[in-house]
Structure 1
Amino acid sequence: MVGGNLRALWAEPRPAHPPARVWRDRALVAALVSWSVVETVLRQDLAWWRPVVLTLSLVIALALLWRRTHPLGSVVVAFGSLIAFDVARLFAFDGTGLNSIVAVLVLPYSLFRWGAGREAAIGLGMILVWLPVTLAAVPADPAEVVAGYGFFLFSAALGTSIRYHAGARVRDIEQAKLRQRNQLARELHDAVGHHVSAIAIQAQAGRAVAASDPDRALATLETIEETASRTLAEMRAMVGVLRDGTEPDFAPHPGAAAIEQLARGGGGWPRVDVQLSGDLDELNPSVGVALHRIAQEAVTNAVRHARHATRVAIRVADEGERVRLTVRDDGDAGSHTPPGYGLVGMAERASLLGGTLQAGPDPDGGWTVDAVLPKGVATT
């Protein structure tokens, strides 16, 4: 497990879209350069290596400009220069650096905030090589050694923490967008798809009776017009959500009582019977909407896919803390397995509310959709 975690960290990519260089970066570098120049002029203990330490400080300051877009490169340039300087101090001269090199503390943060996994590992290795070298060049007591390592590890840990916090926030936003897209897809499929299917079937029935029964054909056209108006209203609600970027607020919100409107006689359709039993007035609105949409989609599937179906029975029953919806048709069960998103959407609706949904053929023929939802649960 440890090996797998290490490989995952090594393979982790850079965070996407690091911020561009802004005026604050240039102001920081300008302040560091000014600090280095003033310190070089004022300090009297630098002797002949004054140009060397000034160059070192300027290199470190300039490396900060690329700390987000090239974090490993910045660490290599800055700490590589420091290692070379400290090795020279060990063997060539006994000098000191400028206080402005404290700016290197920013680089471990940037490395772990913006670098890939392998870049962070390589850069940290370079920093850990430099620390004993500089402590050998400038001997320190144990407390100073611990403090030195602590400062750099804290900088790296801070970068890691902010990186993963930002990554978690991005993932949360993407998941919220995905949930919203899925909700829109379910509404589009269950509501608009149901209405469009009804329009198509009604149009076929109207064409069949147009010559022999004009009055019935006219009534069918009126039904088509009414259904098309409802479809257009729901489409406008969805388009408003997509354009405005607001939370979905589909109106009107059909509930369990609206399931009764799915009932109809024959006349080219399977007959749809609806029976509601128990106390359904106290249902959570989200549960009512889910019951209506599941029933609506189940009826649409029966009309479109159940061959030889003559009747669809819808039953909604209060079972105490739960409510059960059963939709059963008497068609040819073998034909009732259409590919698509209908069953997926129904199952998602039930699952999001903490309920269950089962759908499949009956032993004695026909097809049944059975959904059980908690009565008082809120949408998650």
Structure 2
Amino acid sequence: MTSPVRALWRSPAPTPPPPRRVWRDWVLVGVLPPLVLLEATLRPEVPWRWGWAIVLVALVPTLLWRRTRPFTMLAVAFGVGTLVSVVVGGDPQLVTTAYFLVLVYSVLRWGNGRAMLGGAALVLAGTLAPLLLESPSPVDLVGGLAVVVTTGSLGLAFRWRAGARARELERMRLLEREELARELHDTVAHHVSAIAIQAQAGAAVAAQHPDAATEALRVIEGEASRTLDEMRAMVRVLRRSDAPELAPVPGLDDLGRLTSSPAGGPAVTVELDGDTASVPPAIGAAVFRIAQEAVTNSRRHAHGATRVEVRVRVDGDGVRLDVRDDGEAVVSARPGFGLTGMAERAALLGGRCEAGPCDGGWTVTAELPRAGWPR
């Protein structure tokens, strides 16, 4: 088998799996037998009309399993129909035989690769079988093939559309998970890091300076309370569609919150330059989260750092953020979730974010051009 045929042969059934039965199935099973008998009564000129009517009525229940056993039901219907055609020496001329097309549709819509290829071969053989018994006109032959091909094309089209929709839903779920992971890392991890730093500082000075240890405990209590508040805010966002309107989004004006350094930690200064009021909320929130993560990394990993400088400049090109500390320069650093999250935030807005050692410390630079700003 060639590669495309082999790939189709091994392709699985579509996901999500189809429903076993719905109300439409019972409507079809209930309506078709009376229609078959009515047509057989009204068309006395059809050869073997009552024999065909009995066969068609007997095959109607195959519609109930057309989703779960599409190829089997198609094989039963076409096999019995072809066998009866050979015995009576002609095709069924009842219009109600058209319900076989529902089985053709089901094979291409719900079957796996083997079912689709086998069903196509079976339908083709059943369509061309009359050539062995009689010589149909080219118009009838082409018309029959066109109807079958159109029905199969509809099955493939709906199959492709359902698959595309499922892939889009999965993509949206992944994006939501990534966004939630970034928010957890940028908010909760920030406060947890501050708690860890305070706990280490309190343990170091507890013996000689009990008052300093008590102050560290107060800071830990405050950071823990803020962590719980932000966790509750995230839960509200996940549970209620109107929660984003109730929860304020941090922006450039909130960068001053980063200057509250833990005892013994590096001092943080924030400098804003330019028309910060013109920055959209989404851009301001991204800049705040990137700066927050950069400051947290400096507090945790910059050995010997005494200060962290945060500079934001807004001009005609966009926003530029620079976060620099004076700790020991690191030759290399393995990208973690924080660095990855900062880069992703900048990339989503058409910008870039880079981090690395500099002269006398570590620097994080983010640029968000106006071309990537939401309008």
TM-score, structure 2 length as denominator?
Answer: 0.88
Say yes or no: does 1:274 pair with 2:270. yes
Q: Percent identity?
A: 47
Amino acid at match of 1:19: P
Amino acid at match of 1:71: P
Match in the other structure for 1:14: 13
Say yes or no: does 1:25 pair with 2:20. no
Of residues 345, 366, 373, the one that matches 1:371 is: 366
Deviations along 1:53-74, whole A, 9 cap, x unmatched?
Answer: 2443134312211111111111
Match in the other structure for 1:331: 327
Give unmatched runs, 5+ long, in structure 1: none
Q: Following the alignment from structure 1 to structure 2, what is the Cα–Cα distance between the partners of residues 223 and 342?
A: 24
Of residues 158, 172, 182, the one that matches 1:162 is: 158
Q: Which stretch shifts more, 186-195 or 236-245? A: 236-245
Change (3 A) 1:197 1:167: same
Of residues 304, 311, 315, the one that matches 1:308 is: 304
How much does 1:257 deviate?
Answer: 2.0
Is this contact kept in 2: 1:302–1:336, CA < 8 A?
Answer: no
Amino acid at match of 1:36: V
How much does 1:338 deviate?
Answer: 5.5
How much does 1:358 deviate?
Answer: 1.1
Q: Following the alignment from structure 1 to structure 2, what is the Cα–Cα distance between the partners of residues 348 and 194?
A: 18
Match in the other structure for 1:292: 288
Instruction: Indicate the SS of the match to 2:345.
Output: helix
Aligned residues: 373
Deviations along 1:285-323, whole A, 9 cap, x unmatched?
Answer: 111001110111111111112222222221111242221
- What is the aligned-residue RMSD (CA, Å)? 2.8
How much does 1:94 deviate?
Answer: 5.2
Give unmatched runs, 5+ long, in structure 2: none
Instruction: Indicate the SS of the match to 1:371.
Output: strand
Q: Following the alignment from structure 2 to structure 1, what is the Cα–Cα distance between the partners of residues 351 and 255?
A: 19
Is this contact kept in 1: 2:12–2:112, CA < 8 A?
Answer: yes
Instruction: Indicate the SS of the match to 1:367.
Output: strand
Of residues 254, 258, 261, the one that matches 2:250 is: 254
How much does 1:131 deviate?
Answer: 0.9
Q: Following the alignment from structure 1 to structure 2, what is the Cα–Cα distance between the partners of residues 247 and 264?
A: 28
Is this contact kept in 2: 1:275–1:315, CA < 8 A?
Answer: yes
Is this contact kept in 1: 2:322–2:364, CA < 8 A?
Answer: yes
Q: How does 1:185-204 map to 2 (within 5 A)?
A: 185-204=181-200
Say yes or no: does 1:122 pair with 2:123. no
Is this contact kept in 2: 1:180–1:248, CA < 8 A?
Answer: no
Amino acid at match of 1:77: V
Is this contact kept in 2: 1:287–1:377, CA < 8 A?
Answer: no
Is this contact kept in 2: 1:60–1:101, CA < 8 A?
Answer: no
Match in the other structure for 1:173: 169
Q: Following the alignment from structure 2 to structure 1, what is the Cα–Cα distance between the partners of residues 98 and 134?
A: 15
Amino acid at match of 1:20: R
Is this contact kept in 1: 2:202–2:216, CA < 8 A?
Answer: yes
Change (3 A) 1:148 1:94: closer
